[in-house]
Amino acid sequence: MIISKLKEIFVSLTIRNYRLFFMGQGISLIGTWIQRTTMGWFVYRLTGSAFLLGLVSFLSMVPSVFVSPFAGAWADRVNRHHIMIYTQIAFCLQTGILAILVLTGVINKQVQYPIIILSLLQGIIDAIDAPIRQNFVTDLVSSRRLLPNAIATNSAMFNGARLIGPAIGGFLIMMFSEGVCFAINAISYIPVIISLCFIRISYPPPSPQKEPTLKKIVSGWKYAWENMPIRFLISNLAIYTIFGMSFSTLMPIFAKDILQGTSATQGLLMSAMGVGALAGSFFLASRKNIRGMPTRLVYLCLVYSISLILFSLSGSLPLSMFYMVFIGLTGMMTMATTNTLIQSIASIEMRGRVIALYTMASASTAPLGSILMGSLSSQFGARYTLIICASVFLLWSLYSLKLAPKFIKGVLRMLVISNNTDVYRSKILAPEINIQ
C-alpha cells in the first residue's frame, strides 16, 4: 500500500530521462544551497554592509531582464539538452574561479570587486539556463499530463537540497572556510553534467525562422497581457518576489545581529525553511490534477505574508525556525503552483516565451527586491524593512481575493483553448505513458 502510494506520488521518476536528471541535479543542488548560504554570510562578514549584500544579489539576477526574453524565444527552436550541458559547465567554471580566488586570499576586505564581477557572470549564465530548464522538464517527461507531478517532484528535489545544504554550509564555514564551501559547489556540478550526457532526447529539425526574434518576444508579451490568468500569475509572482521572497537577502543580518547567532544559526533558519518547502513539495506531488490550484494560490500568498511579519517580530531562534517552516511551505507552493498553472494553460507555441516571462517575473524582479531590502535595511533596520515589505504583499494578497473568481474562470477557459483539460480532471496521471 505504502509502496503503491509512493509510486503514485513519484510517477515521473519512472521515466528514465527524468530519473537521470533528478539524480544528478539533486547532488548539484545541495552544492548550490551550500553556496547560497555561504555567499550571504561571506559578503556580510567581509564588508558589514547590508547595501553590498543587496548589490551582490542584484547583480546575480539583473541579467535576466535582458537575456531571458531572448532565451525564451530561442527555447522553442534550440536543442535544449545541449544548452543545459553547456550552462552546467559554465556554472562549474564560474564557481571554481570564485573558490580559487577566496582560498588564495585574492578576495579579501580590501579587494571585493571579483565578487561583483563573478556575481554578474553567474546572473548571465542563469538567465540563459532558467527558461531552457523549465522547457527541458517537459522534454524529459514527454507528456503535459505528467507535468504537474514532474514540477512538484523537481520542487521536492530542490527543497530537499535546501533542507540539507544550508545546514552543511553553516557547519563547513565554522569548521573550514567559505572558500571550501565554494569549492564543494563547483565539484557538485560534475554529477549533473554526467547525468545530462546519459540522457537521450531526439528533437525534430527546427522549422525555418518565420519571424524575427524581437517580434516573437513582443508577441509573447502581448499574448500574456491579453490573457488575464497569465497576466495575474506573472504580476502576482513579481510582487511576491520583490516584497516577499527577497527577504532572504536579510538572513545574515537576522542570524547575526537580531538572533545573536553564527553561520550555524543562518543554516538552521534556512534548513527550517527547507523542511516546510519539502512538505509542500510532497503535498503537490500527491495531487492527481490541478483542480483547486488557482484558489489555493491566493490563500498561500496570504499565509506567506503573515508568516513573514511574525518572523520579523521574533527574537527567539526556536520561534523563528517555526515561522520559517510556514514561510518555506507557502513560498515553495506559491512558486510551484504558479509554474504548473502557467505551463498548463499556455498554448504549445507560446510556452517558451511565457516561461521566459515567468523567469523574468522571478529572477528579474528579485534584484529590485534585493536592492530595496538592502537600502531600506540600511535606513530602518532589517526588522522594520521586512515588516514594511511583507505588509505590502499582504495588501496585494487581500486584493487578489477580489480577483479570484475571474482568475479561476479564465484558467478553465484557457485549459479548453490549449486542449489540456486532462490536467484538470484526470484521476490517473499517466495511464498511457510508455515507460522507458
The DSSP code sequence of 188-233 is HHHHHHHHHHH----PPPPPPP-S-HHHHHHHHHHHHHHSHHHHHH
The one-character DSSP state at 250 is G
How far apart (Å, rounded) are the C-alpha atoms in residues 289 and 427? 7
How far apart (Å, rounded) are the C-alpha atoms in residues 21 and 191? 10
Q: What is the pLDDT of residue 431?
A: 36
How far apart (Å, rounded) are the C-alpha atoms in residues 265 and 275? 15
- pLDDT tens sequence across 319-366: 999 999 999 899 888 988 888 888 788 877 777 778 777 877 776 677
Cβ(233)–Cβ(63) under 8 Å? no
Q: What is the pLDDT of residue 327?
A: 93
Q: What is the pLDDT of residue 4?
A: 59
Q: What are phi and psi of 346, to 5 degrees?
A: -75, 145
Residue 167 burial (CB count, 10 A): 21
How far apart (Å, rounded) are the C-alpha atoms in residues 209 and 82? 20
Q: What are phi and psi of 177, to 5 degrees?
A: -165, 170
**CB proximity list for 183: less than 8 A, separation 6 or greater:** 96, 99, 103
Q: 3-state class of 165 per DSSP?
A: helix
pTM: 0.71
How far apart (Å, rounded) are the C-alpha atoms in residues 50 and 384? 14
How far apart (Å, rounded) are the C-alpha atoms in residues 271 and 331? 14
Q: Where are the alpha helices (DSSP H) in 48-79?
A: 50-61, 63-75
Distance spanning both ends of the chain, measured CA to CA: 24
**CB proximity list for 132: less than 8 A, separation 6 or greater:** 71, 75, 78, 80, 83, 84, 87
Cell of 302: 496570504
Residue 74 burial (CB count, 10 A): 20
Q: What is the pLDDT of residue 210?
A: 64
Q: What is the pLDDT of residue 277?
A: 82
Q: What is the pLDDT of residue 302?
A: 93
How far apart (Å, rounded) are the C-alpha atoms in residues 135 and 399? 31
Q: What is the pLDDT of residue 422?
A: 62
Q: What is the pLDDT of residue 377?
A: 83
The stretches in the chain having pLDDT less than 50 are 428-436
**CB proximity list for 382: less than 8 A, separation 6 or greater:** 50, 250, 253, 254, 257, 258, 312
Environment class of residue 105 by beta-carbon count within 10 Å: exposed (0-12), middle (13-18) or buried (19+)? Answer: exposed
Tell me the pLDDT of the chain averaged across its residues: 81
How far apart (Å, rounded) are the C-alpha atoms in residues 281 and 283? 5
How far apart (Å, rounded) are the C-alpha atoms in residues 321 and 259? 11
Residue 174 burial (CB count, 10 A): 12
Total residue count of the chain as it appears in this document:
436
Q: What is the pLDDT of residue 359?
A: 75
How far apart (Å, rounded) are the C-alpha atoms in residues 357 and 369? 17
Q: What is the pLDDT of residue 95?
A: 93
DSSP 264-333: HHHHHHHHHHHHHHHHHHHHHHH-SS-TTHHHHHHHHHHHHHHHHHHHHH---HHHHHHHHHHHHHHHHH
Question: Distance of alpha carbon 385 from its chain centroid, rounded?
Answer: 23
